[in-house]
Amino acid sequence: MKKAYYIVVGIIILLFFTKDINLNNTDYKNIKFSNNPLDYKVLVNKNNRLLQSFIPDDLVLINKNYSNENKYLRKEAAESFEKLSQTAKNLGYRIVVVSAFRDYDYQKNLFNHYVSEKGLDYALSCSAKPGHSEHQTGLAIDVEGSNMDYDNFDKSNEFEWMRENAHKFGFIMRYPKNREHITRFKYEPWHYRYVGVEIATLIKNEGITFEEYYVKYKGLY
């Protein structure tokens, strides 16, 4: 009887972990093209992609006071980030954009660079294949703080403020810690995505990822 109990428990545990394994096996499989890439809620990940030719028609240059170079975002996202950055600046923080819109060819070159430098497995863990990058939407940003090191943004003075306040300006941390099995990307404390204040607030309050938002509210997957 005891042996049968452990067998049943073992099967349950196996099924639980198989769910995550199956998620892993779906990377870049059964790919869907977005039918509304200009929607601020557009989902772009390893299973949902944009056309190679897609470039938003409302890209604007981010004010240079809020970026380290010439960076472009869609107009609404750019205006919202500038408000965020200025609000942070008024409180003594420094939050600037170091990467924003990237077109398909830029992402292709970036991904291939990671492959050539560190191998395919590394590239797949930290970079999206071309067409699968949120940066192509014109709604994603990488930011740095006063330590001027975006890779270590979570060690900057600005990190906690950004994590607690970004949703007020329509941004979410897209790849949070310990959610890699859901987002399919490694933790990126510097990567934020504009989805609008309403959805960003919902995601923040519920402590969910963008993928989980789609499952819960859009019936995806």
Supply the residues annotated as catalytic.
188
Contact 44, 34 (CB under 8 A): yes
d(CA 22, CA 36): 27
Sign of the Cα pseudo-torsion (100, 102, 106, 108, in order): positive
What are all long-range contacts of 49-58, with beta carbons under 8 Å and residues at least 24 apart? 49/131, 49/132, 50/104, 50/131, 50/132, 50/136, 50/137, 51/131, 52/104, 52/130, 52/131, 53/104, 54/104, 54/136, 55/103, 55/136, 56/101, 56/137, 56/138, 58/138
- Give the count of beta carbons closer than 10 Å to the beta carbon of residue 63: 15
